[in-house]
Amino acid sequence: MKIKSAEFIKSAPSIKDAPELDGQAEFVLVGRSNVGKSSFINCLLNRKNLAKTSNTPGKTRLINYYQVIADPTPFILVDLPGYGYAKVSKTEQQKWQKNLEAFLKERETIRQVFQLIDARHPVQDSDFQMWEWLNHVGLSTTIVLTKGDKIKANQLSRQHQEASNELSIVKELIIPFSANTGLGKDKALASIQQVLNR
């Protein structure tokens, strides 16, 4: 797959505000706050600042849409608000969760979910709950272990195996990733292409 161009389309507070995209395949990113979704997008699409990165957890509170012109097939990347951020009110957390679940259940153009998990830490309860819920509603999901360059290679290998054990999936369905080094970028793009080919 070759990425020709990419552009930000819209930020939407809920599914009812989602843009009309002519039925294009959507690939959705979910993950805990500050897991590196924006860096993942920028690396994947060869754009340094297309998605705004922040060191402040919980900054992304809207659903962000990106149009990707790729050869041979264009598609949409969708960045959902991070889950598991404790420093917002319970009401706000519940609102985000409800919004996120409604989007994932009702959006018929979703073809695949990338669930991003920070490679520096064990799988968190909120990660496991999200993984189980995605499986429950039947959404095809690929796990991405982000920030793989922040730990030693043997630690990353161990985290890869532990994530496989914790989530009860084969290691081949988990992509170790680094936005800084490009580790895992080709695998992520190949995963998208494989889905588009179906």
Rounded mean pLDDT of the chain? 90
- Could you tell me if 77 and 27 are in contact, meaning their C-beta atoms sit under 8 angstroms apart? yes
Mean pLDDT of 154-175: 97
Tens digit of each residue's pLDDT (9 = 90 or more) over 14-31: 778 888 888 899 999 999
Tens digit of each residue's pLDDT (9 = 90 or more) over 94-147: 777 777 788 888 888 999 999 999 999 999 999 999 999 999 999 999 999 999
pLDDT for the residue numbered 114: 98
* Whether pLDDT at 88 is above 70: no
* Whether pLDDT at 160 is above 70: yes
Catalogue all structural domains in the chain, each as residue range(s) with its CATH number.
2-197 (3.40.50.300)
* Whether pLDDT at 182 is above 80: yes
Tens digit of each residue's pLDDT (9 = 90 or more) over 27-81: 999 999 889 999 999 999 999 889 887 665 555 578 899 999 999 999 999 999 8
The span from the CA of 1 to the CA of 18, in Å, is 26
Q: Encode burial over 29-60: b for 16+ CB neighbours within 10 A, e otherwise.
A: bbbbbbbbbbbbbbbbbebeebbeeeeebbeb
pTM beyond 0.85: yes
- Could you tell me if 6 and 92 are in contact, meaning their C-beta atoms sit under 8 angstroms apart? no
The better pLDDT of the pair 90, 22 is held by 22
Q: Around 78, how many Cα atoms within 13 Å sit in the side-chain half-sphere?
A: 25
- Which residue type occupies 111? R
